[in-house]
A and B are shown apart, each in its own frame.
Chain A
Amino acid sequence: MELSATMTLADMPIAGKGCVTGMTLPPETHRRLMEMGLTRGATFQVVRYAPMGDPIEIRVRGYHLSLRKSEAAGISVEALP
């Protein structure tokens, strides 16, 4: 998989694994995402995209979380093998 410095969660393919490296989102959104377990260093796997392509479903900290691409695009990630 190609790695790039500015990869976001919205760019991840289905079944792709990654880890959160940072966020560029409004503070309240940022906190909410973190409280749901998306802290720096948290690993996740993309499970699927909804039938219409948005939102995304990921597996993080042992549960399934769904969020929109617009938020996912503000979460920078590093792809893991």
Chain B
Amino acid sequence: MTAPLNKDFVNMVTRARQVALAGNPNCGKTTLFNALTGLRQKVGNYPGVTVEKKAGKFFGTHGEPMEVLDLPGTYSLHGRSPDEEISCEVLLGERADTPPPDVVVAVLDATNLERNLYLLAQIMELRRPMVVALNMVDIAEARGIRVNPEALELALGVPVVATVASEKAGLVELKQALSRATLASPVNVAPMPEPIEEAIKSISAVLISVHPERRGAVRSEALMLLSQSEESARVRKSPLIEMAVTSARKSVCSAGWDPVSDPVEARYAWAQEIVEKCVRGTEGHGITFSDRLDMVLTHQVWGWVAFLSVLGLMFFCIFTVAQYPMDWINSLVDWTGGMVGTMIPPGELRSVIQDGVFAGAGSVLVFLPQILILFFFIGLLEDTGYMARAAFIMDRLMSRVGLHGKSFIPLLSSFACAIPGIMATRTIENRKDRLATIFIAPFMSCPARLPVYALLIALCFPADRVPAWEKAALMVGMYVAGMAAAFLTAWLFKKTLLKRETPMLLLELPPYHAPKLRGVAVQMWHRSRVFVYRVGTVILALSIVLWALARYPRPEDANATPAAAISQSFAGRLGHSMEPAIRPLGFDWKIGIGLITSFAARESFVGTMAIVHNVGDGGHEDTNAIQGALRGDRWPDGRAVFTPLVCVGLMVFYVLALQCMSTVAVVRRETGGWFWPLFQFAYMTGLAYVASLVIYKGGSLLGW
């Protein structure tokens, strides 16, 4: 980072050159971005949409600063997913929040040149200054594909630099090319059939007369207008332009050509021609290492074994290995809270800091190890190419309920935390598929529910008996119940609210390659930072609100027990007033308070139970003491409150209800409004209520 003064000075003298990296998914674009910028990068969002905006800085050959944008990987510029729309808008200079790029670096995967050239053809139509980075030349060589960069440069008419981004090879040359005082715009473009060229000319003439400032990319815009189908009309232009487009389309059709498919075919024909000129030796029919791996990893039997083993290992790490750092974080938070506590005189300030801020922040931070492990696995699986295989294997199952192979990854992430899961839905192109996936993600049991399950399962069985397998089965049952509810909901939505054609799947299965741990680490860092920041602020604020609800008004009797104090606090009164509503489920007002405090984080239920039952100080509860107290809890008429039936009902309530403020906040952000999060909240909580009611009433009728 440069010092602010220095930066201002440099900006004053020369505006930093804006560089945009564009290319197909899996072409090594992000590796190149990381290699160029190091850690001088900023990850955020494009305003108004939930597409990740990755910007960074690097210095050119002469030390001049450059700002680089890593555009989302796309196969085409015909905006159909939010990612592609953003790429297209940035390249066209249409976004107010992003300056138009001074130079585009088109990244090509040398092992897969022909398809990569398709996007390049579209980028060249934009006629912006550009440099081509011919990436992964080492892997191509190893496979016997030799791409000649000089021949490619000659054929394309723009500078071509051979790079191996993973080894930082070719970076100096790339920076040199980007530092040149004058940058060439492409002259050659993929030629179109005559009637289409005519149509481009007539649309261009009208476009220029309406928007003279956009003369540069006019060919690209004309082609987009000509070949976009009505259903995906991205650009709504003036009636003048519409008329020109309609008449151009008509003349193309009457000449026997197709305005949609012929431009695509023309670009591929151009790509094929270039490949013939510049590539020597095509990939033989020999079986590569990647093919061999796939024979096992997508095998009818071994594929499943491998798939389940990967998931098993991941969950093992999330649930057992993460335990150690989680304990450390817990003790660190407690210790710091205690330290701070001794520095503040007892009273309201100490209480809000200890029980509000530290307890609240601790409840978020404690999940960080699990989330980091999850991000590590996801990053690793994405980087090696296995994620695409997981989607390939799971697609059939997911499509039965109207989902998508790509919905699998977000749902899997949701077992660690719904928030990264919901953020991971951004790769799903279709909005309805994405909404369906976001909607069902919180049904996956996250670790915050585990302490609640553990407590209630222990209560289900007599204290002297320890039937380990029965407990385990009940725990697995809760996970299965959540998944069943998710798939049922998805199926229901497919039939009703989000009624649609079964979405299409187009999935590239890239060759496997060794993961780049540095890239995975960078990704973990950025993702967890977003998590801590976004969730931390929401939970912290809410923890303080909940602290106040549980603390005020103070009891008149200064010697009242904590249980008596909470009983007459706002939270206690809320619990009392909601008791009539939850009594049909077998829940008393104390459970009601627990349901309310669970909003900050579900595991607060355990701490709340400790407080309302007068066990410990609520922070360092002894599980046996809580269990004993809950076992002894009685209704006024002497019946036990926590019968096995109530425990199971309550667990199912926790499986199904959306009791997580942070999830609500993230859904609001990702769906861009309050409708979906509120609807989701009502649906899930309603479902939880009905399910618990059925269990309690049904069980009671059967005499359990």
Contact = CB atoms under 8 A, between A and B. Distances in A.
Given A55-B507, A65-B506, A36 B115 contact: yes
Contact of A50 (B76, B80, B264, B396): B396
Given A40-B265, A62-B114, A54 B395 contact: yes
Interface string A35-54: 11101101000011011111
B26 to A, nearest CB: 9
B505 A66 contact: yes
A62 B283 contact: yes
Contacts of A34: 261, 264-265
B265 A35 contact: no
Interface of A: 27-37, 39-40, 42, 47-48, 50-55, 57, 61-68, 70-71
A33 B112 CA distance: 17
A58 to B, nearest CB: 10
Contacts of A48: 294, 298
Contacts of A30: 260-261
Interface stretch (B31-39, B299-307, B490-498, B567-575): B299-307
A68 B403 CA distance: 13
Contacts of A61: 112, 114-115
A40 B300 CA distance: 32
B654 interface: no
A80 to B, nearest CB: 14
Interface in B414-461: none
B504 interface: yes
Given A48-B298, A62-B112, A54 B260 contact: no
A63 B268 contact: no
A31 B229 contact: yes
29 contacts: A31-B78, A31-B229, A32-B504, A35-B264, A36-B75, A36-B508, A39-B261, A50-B298, A50-B395, A50-B396, A51-B298, A51-B300, A52-B393, A54-B395, A55-B395, A61-B112, A61-B115, A62-B113, A64-B508, A65-B508, A66-B388, A66-B395, A66-B506, A67-B504, A67-B505, A67-B506, A68-B502, A70-B502, A71-B504
Given A36-B75, A65-B508, A66-B507, 18 more contacts: A31-B78, A32-B504, A32-B506, A35-B76, A35-B78, A37-B114, A37-B115, A42-B268, A50-B395, A51-B298, A52-B397, A55-B392, A61-B115, A62-B113, A66-B392, A66-B395, A68-B395, A70-B502
B118 interface: yes
| Interface hub of A32, A67, A70, A71 (most chain B Cβ within 10 A) | A32
Nearest to A40: B265
A54 B265 contact: no
- Going nearest first, the 6 A-B pairs with the smallest beta carbon separation are A52-B396, A64-B509, A66-B507, A27-B229, A34-B264, A35-B76
A57 B80 CA distance: 23
Contacts of B80: 28, 32
Interface residues of B, number: 44
B342 interface: no
A42 B261 CA distance: 13
B323 interface: no
Interface in B483-515: 502, 504-511
B386 to A, nearest CB: 14
A39 B507 contact: no
Contacts of A35: 75-76, 78, 118, 264
B111 interface: yes
Contacts of A62: 111-115, 282-283
Contacts of A37: 114-115, 118, 268
B509 A57 contact: yes
A68 B115 contact: no
A59 B553 CA distance: 70
A51 B303 contact: yes
Given A27-B229, A51-B299, A51-B303, A63 B396 contact: no
B401 to A, nearest CB: 14
B384 interface: no
B232 interface: yes
Contact of B509 (A32, A51, A65): A65
Nearest to B266: A39
Contact of A28 (B231, B397, B508, B511): B231
Nearest to A29: B504
Which of B114, B231, B396 has the most C-beta atoms of chain A within 10 angstroms of its own C-beta? B396
B399 interface: yes
A20 to B, nearest CB: 11
B2 to A, nearest CB: 41
A68 B505 contact: yes
B501 to A, nearest CB: 8
B506 A36 contact: yes
Contacts of B260: 27, 30-31
Nearest to A41: B265
Nearest to B388: A66
A71 B504 CA distance: 7
Interface string B261-273: 1001100100000
Contacts of B388: 66
Contacts of B268: 37, 39, 42
A63 B506 contact: no
Contacts of B261: 30-31, 34, 39-40
Nearest to B279: A62
Nearest to A58: B509
A29 B503 CA distance: 10
Given A51-B299, A55-B392, A68 B508 contact: no
A50 B509 CA distance: 12
A51 B505 contact: no
Contacts of A54: 395-396, 399
Contacts of B504: 29, 32, 67-68, 70-71
A10 B697 CA distance: 51
Contacts of A50: 298, 392-393, 395-396
A57 B392 contact: yes
Interface in B276-331: 282-283, 294, 298-300, 303-304
Nearest to A33: B506
Most buried by A among B111, B264, B399, B405: B264
Interface string B56-96: 00000000000000000001101010000000000000000
A47 B118 CA distance: 23
Interface string B211-233: 00000000000000001010110
A32 B84 CA distance: 12
B396 A55 contact: yes
Nearest to B396: A52
A42 to B, nearest CB: 8
A63 B397 contact: no
A67 B503 CA distance: 11
Contacts of B298: 48, 50-51, 57
